[in-house]
Each structure stands twice: as C-alpha cells, then as structure tokens.
Amino acid sequence: MDKINLKYLDEVVYHEKLDNGLNIYVLRKKDYHTFSCYFITNFGALIDEFIPINEKEYHKFPKGVAHFLEHKMFEQETGPNVMDKFSSLLGTCNAFTNYEYTAYYVNGADNFKENLIFLIDYVQSPYFTDENVEKEKGIIDQERLMTLDQPERTFSLKILSNIFNNYEYGKTVVGEKEDIYSITKEDLYRCYNTFYNPSNMSIVVVSNEEEEKVINLIKENQSKKKFDKQGTIKIKETKEDKKVSKEYDVIYDNVEKPKVSYNIKINLPEIKEDLDLVGLSLRILLVSNFSKMSDFNLELKNKNIIDDNIGFSIGKFIDYGLITIRSNTIKEEEFLDKVKNKFKSLELSKEKFELIKKTFIANTVYSFTTTHGIMGYLLDEYFDKRKIKEDYFSKLKEFTYEKYIEIINKIDFSNDNITIMRPLDEKE
C-alpha cells in the first residue's frame, strides 16, 4: 500500500494494486457521514476493435457494445434485483458509459461496507442470455430515439465529427439502430471477459472508514474469486489527422435561433509542455477572454450580436485539445468575425491571470468540503490519466504567469472549424 499525497490540500489517497491487478484508491474523511464508491473499467464507446482475451486475432464489435454491456450488468442470474438491493441498503446507485470508460457507482450515508461489497459483486457477476439480450435491444433503441430529439446533443456530436477524421468521438455512445440490434450474448461475454478483468479496472472510494480496513475488505472479497490472467489488451490503433475533418458545416434542426460554434483543434504533443499545464493555460485563457464578465462578452451583448452569454469549453480527446466558442445568434457572420479576430488579440494580462488562478484554487479547495466534490476531483484525475497522482493541485498552486505566457505562445489557434445549426424552416 502506498500513499499519494495531495500536496497543499492536506489530503492523502491510499493506493494498492492487488495481485489480480485491481487498483484501489481510498481517501478517508473521518468526520464526514456520507460515502461514494466507483467501480471503473477502462472500456468505453471508442473501443470496438481489439483482440479478446484468450484469442489471437483482432475482432471488430458493433458500435455501442460498451453501453449495452453497462445496461445488462444490472440483470443478475440469482439474488435480488440490483436496484432493489441498493434501495434496501439505503444506497443510490447508477452507471454511465462515455467514450473511454464505464463506471458503476453507489452513494449513501449508511451501510457502507454492504453497499461497497454489493457494488463489486454485481459488477463481477455477468449474466447474459439470448432472451435478456434481445429484450434489452428495444429499450436501448428507445434511448437512442430520445436522443434524436435533443438538438443541443446533435449539435455537439456534429462538432466532434467535423473536428476528428478517424477518432470516432462524433459517434453516439449507444450506437446506431443496426449496431444495437446486431449485438449478441457472445459479443457481451467476449467484451466483458476482456475489459472487466480486474487488471483493467479500478475502485475509488471516499468514506469515513479507515483506509486499510477498506482495502482489506476489498482484498478479502477478491481473494474468493478467480480471474484469467491478462496482459496488455491489444486495441486496434487509430491515427488521427492533424487538420480538422471539415472546415465549415451547416445542419438544420428544431431550434428557434441559429447555434453557431467556432472550434479549434490543438495538437497537444506538438506543444511539448506538461499537458496539465497546457489544459490549465487554456482554461485561464478562455475564462479571461470569453466569460460572462469579460469585456468581449459584454461588447457582443451591447452590440446586440448575442442576447445570452457566450458558451465556451476546452476538452481533451486522446492527444488533441478542442476549444469551442459558441452562441445562439441570428448575426452569424458578425459573431464569427468577432471571435476570429479575438484570437488574434487575446487578453493575457497578469492581473486577470492571478485573479482566475485564485478562483480555480478556491473552487478546488471548496470541492473538498463534500464527498461528492472530492470524488469529482479524484475522478477527473483518473479519467485524464487512468490513475490518480499527487501533483495536479500543486501544479495549479505553483503555476506562474511567465509559464502561462510561454505555453500560450506555443499554441497554434489556426486549425479551426465552423459548425452552424439553423432552424428547419430555413432549410432550402
């Protein structure tokens, strides 16, 4: 067991890797009365071609298989219904699948040990039959259909598909109709046995229980189970082109006013800087230049170019960063011209840098006042690096204005895309 010191936060995460490869991370909050437990597999919607465990050849699976698998894990062969069991233990459970991970979790205030052990046991007890897989297809297809009525989601996916050429971030996590209906019981077992092996999974716990007791509880549980030994999972590599997939695109949907997004694709390895600091620099840059209190946002409102605040985000997609600057506006060209010109004269003052940095520090410290906030911090670290490290907050605390300017000056903001969603009645 080793200790991960969260410098400046005065917190310690205990970590142990079990003999079966399972990583356990535990942070104790002695005086807190609630707990949060996550059981995570490094398997998400992007992964659909790999060599299954105990096989020798690559196999391509239907899109959406990771999400389908998440659904089916809630059905057990014997014992109580998963949701009913957690309810009886006063735990709140759920799960989610994104492009790179699937996570199962339970939160609560009572029966910590029972909730944690049941979380582990049900995720490690797959039960797939031809009948229950067939039944689930209609349920998941209804979920797919519901997402088609969400213009904001459609817009976001379209932006991703216009940015990436080969990375399939623009595909839906649930898959298309033909994918859903082609998934078999055998597909699920092959994916489960490969990616739900403990060596590809982690448990993250925040509770008031003593760290060693939590780890020993999980150890004891795992010692009663047998798993195939697994080396590195061989996943089909995908190489992404540096340029955006499409520079300009217009789509139509059920919206009252056009949605306009200016998007920039950033090749992160080319910057040759610590990626935590690159992400931090971009976050500070966007807040400084595009937040609701920025001079730029107020200018666009005063000129009636926008009637709501500018939306902006920075995301990391494997080895690329994506900046989006967006708004609802009927003055599409004026908005885009203003945003493009803004990137030629960005606000980089030391005063704003220090103010925003202090805000980030305060927000992080405040997040550690709740179990939910602490778990959010730990998951952000895990999802970014597939492990929890001790250095992110210290990097924020020690980040200097001079380093910020150095990093921003290395970033190429010219690799851009424009995506617009207009009302259906404007379609010719």
Q: What is the pLDDT of residues 307-344, one digit of tens each?
A: 899 999 999 999 999 999 999 999 999 999 999 999 99
10 sits in the region (left: phi over 0; alpha: psi -120 to 50; else beta) called left
How is the beta sheet containing 201-207 ordered, strand by strand?
2-6, 11-17, 23-28, 201-207, 35-41, 102-108, 91-97
Q: Which residue ranges make up each domain of the chain?
A: 2-223, 248-426
394 sits in the region (left: phi over 0; alpha: psi -120 to 50; else beta) called alpha
The domain defined by 2-223 carries CATH number 3.30.830.10:
yes
Angle between the N-to-C axes of helices 65-72 and 130-147, in degrees from 0 to 180, rounded to the nearest 10: 120
2-223 and 248-426 share one CATH topology?
yes
Overall fold of domain 248-426? Cytochrome Bc1 Complex; Chain A, domain 1 (3.30.830)
Angle between the N-to-C axes of helices 211-223 and 112-123, in degrees from 0 to 180, rounded to the nearest 10: 40
Write out residues in the chain with pLDDT < 70, as ranges: none
DSSP β-ladder status, 102-108 and 91-97: antiparallel
pLDDT of residue 80: 84
**CA of residue 5 relative to chain centroid, distance:** 24
pLDDT of residue 307: 87
> What count of other Cβ atoms lies within 10 Å of the Cβ of residue 156?
19
Q: Residue 102 is which amino acid? A: T
User: Exposure of 417 by Cβ count < 10 A (0-12 exposed, 13-18 middle, 19+ buried)?
Assistant: buried
Contact call for residues 74 and 68 (beta carbons, < 8 A)? no
- pTM attached to this predicted model: 0.94
